[in-house]
Amino acid sequence: MVLLTKSKYLAGLQCSKLLWTLVNDKSKIPEVDASQQKIFDTGTAIGVLATSLFPEGINVSEEGFMVNINATKKLLKENKPLFEPGFMIDGLFSRGDILVPNKDGSWDIIEVKSSTEVKDVNIHDVSFQKLVYEKSGLKIKNCFLMFINNEYVKQGDIEADILFKKEDITVQVEEFLVGIEDRIADMKKILDGEKPSVDIHENCSKPYDCALISNCWGFLPKNSVFSLTRGGKRSWELYKNNILTIKDIPSDSKLSDKQQIQRDCEVSGKNFIHTEAIKQFLGTLNYPIYYFDFETINPCIPIYDGMTPYKRIAFQYSLHIQEEPDGGLKHISFLADEKADPRKPILESMKEHLGNKGTILAWNQGFEIGVIKELIEYCPEYQKWGLVILGRFNDLIIPFRSFYYYDPIQDGSASLKKVLPALTDLSYDELDIANGGDASTSYEKICLEDVPSEEVAKIRKDLEIYCELDTFAEVEILRKLNQLVTGHSQPKDLNNNCEKNNV
């Protein structure tokens, strides 16, 4: 008999094909990547921390499926909080986070999440638990969700009783229990039946990205209608009318100006250049130009005093400095000591190297500006300087987000990693750390775990290489924009004429 577990039930609510595949064709489920594993690890850490609020509690989690179930049955008699109790009945299995006894013989469910709010998927989660527990003979009185208080500020040791919020979701759980028996019956039929035929749909990313997205969406051609900028409902309308690619959108379709540019470029196979608009943007830049990029972590459980949960903490920056048009480059690289609070050291370094005039150029500047605001909020002695710095920022994404330049290679995106191959031959493909998520995960690893020194050195080197490419990419893109509108450009071998400094 195939058990319907809590995780499978939640998967079935999202997609019947996903549910069937989890049981009948597991090879189609991709391996967990580093980013997803980080989410799982965070959830585990949060769950362990929550148990500290119940000092008399007993951890039921035992290796082995039946061992856990049998241990739960025995430990219920102890009438103490139970951590990760498991129950199986009528082909259903559920293991929860915490069960707390009441004086009247009933129990309360406490589900622990690393989110900062109650979500519908959490209510579904607890409703399944309640059903299974009650079928197993327990009387459930109240249901609670324990989640992260994003206003908590760390000062000294983590105070779990303040870090967590607890919300009574008993009423919502009862509402979500309506129809659950029918849903479960349908899911059991799916598990025992043939693979469901399910078309792609809006729920493929709700409440989470489905594990089958790459499989189910793989039939779509490059530059599909889902690459249409701000496509939203319009993209789904086109798809449902059997229009798969942007170039196949009828010429009389109602499109925004940017969407029309995309379509025209797809049909012609050529890029689009709004020369005057690019010139106007270039005219807003003042030399020296400081090409700038942060890398950050945002751990759920605060690491340093003064941090709140999920607060962004900058640990690294790359800076290319160009004093004049066609001038050489100076590269500054800052990577914090992984065992120390990086906030003041990174501000000290920035103040030393960002000068007092010229444009600070970022890609999607809102991120860098937001991080600096948070840094100077923590270090108020840098506030006056920081406000001046913020006034010098400009955003290299503007010509691409505004569609002053567009190439079909971008696939509807203005992200740096999509624009870069459209204008240069630079690539992140060969890097061991090749995106911001990997950079964050890697730095957190050497911050929080006992990592061998040689691995630390390797990670630090890879971080330096990755972050430097981010700002050199900005240099090359700006060089190409200048070339497009003036017919000449800075020397292409700027990277070979670059003074490097690690600070």
Asked if 349 and 370 touch (Cβ cutoff 8 Å), the reply is: no
Q: What angle do CA 310, 312, 315 make, to 5 degrees?
A: 130
pLDDT the model gives residue 321: 98
Residue type, 312: R
The 10 Å CB-count burial string (b at 16+, else e) for 328-348 is ebbbbbbbbebeebbbeebbe
pLDDT 10s per residue in the chain (503 long)? 789 999 999 999 999 999 999 999 999 898 888 888 888 899 999 999 999 999 999 999 777 889 999 999 999 999 999 999 999 999 999 999 999 999 999 999 999 999 999 999 999 999 999 999 999 999 999 999 999 999 999 999 999 999 999 999 999 999 999 999 999 999 999 999 889 999 999 889 989 899 999 899 999 998 999 999 999 999 999 999 999 999 999 988 999 999 999 999 999 999 999 999 999 999 999 999 999 999 999 999 999 999 999 999 999 999 999 999 888 999 999 999 999 999 999 999 999 999 999 999 999 999 999 999 999 999 999 999 999 999 999 999 999 999 999 999 999 999 999 999 999 999 999 999 999 999 999 999 999 999 999 999 999 999 999 999 999 999 999 999 999 998 754 555 555 566 778 87
Q: How far apart are CA 63 and CA 61, in angstroms?
A: 7
> Coil, helix or strand for 102?
coil
Picking from 67, 65, 76, 147, the residue whose alpha carbon sits closest to that of residue 110 is: 147
Contact 141, 108 (CB under 8 A): yes
Amino acid at 5: T
E strands, 323-407, where?
329-335, 359-362, 393-395, 405-406
> What are the tokens at 258?
């940017």
CATH label, 4-192, candidates 3.40.50.720, 3.90.320.10, 3.40.50.1110, 3.20.20.30: 3.90.320.10
**DSSP-derived pairing of the beta strands 86-89 and 92-95:** antiparallel
- 205 C-beta neighbours (distance < 10 Å), count: 11
Q: Which two tokens stand for residue 228?
A: 């249409």
Cα–Cα distance measured from residue 60 to residue 137, given in angstroms and rounded to the nearest whole number: 18
Residues 6+ apart with CB under 8 A from 408: 223, 262, 265, 266, 269, 271
Distance CA 393, CA 291 (A): 10
Q: How many CA atoms are closer than 13 Å to the CA of 160, on its beta-carbon side?
A: 14
Encoded amino acid at 39, one letter: I
**Can you give the three-state secondary structure of 50-72, one letter per residue?**
HHCCCCCCEECCCCCHHHHHHHH
3, with CB counted inside 10 A (0-12, 13-18, 19+), is middle
Query: What angle, 0 to 180 degrees and rounded to 10, lies between the N-to-C axes of helices 120-135 and 170-177?
Result: 80
Chain position carrying tokens 């989410």: 39
pLDDT at 311: 94
Pick the CATH number of 276-502 from 1.25.40.20, 3.30.420.10, 2.60.40.10, 3.40.50.1820: 3.30.420.10
Q: What angle do CA 102, 106, 111 make, to 5 degrees?
A: 80
Tokens 């987000």 map to which residue? 401
Task: Write out the DSSP string of 389-401.
Answer: HHTTEEETTHHHH
Domain limits, the chain: 4-192, 276-502
Using an 8 Å Cβ cutoff, are 16 and 198 in contact? yes
Q: Is the pTM of this model over 0.75?
A: yes
Conformation bin of residue 412: beta by default, left when phi > 0, alpha when psi is -120 to 50: left
CA 157 vs CA 87, 153, 162, 306, 431: distances in Å: 35, 11, 11, 12, 37
Helices and strands (DSSP H and E) totals, the chain: 19, 17
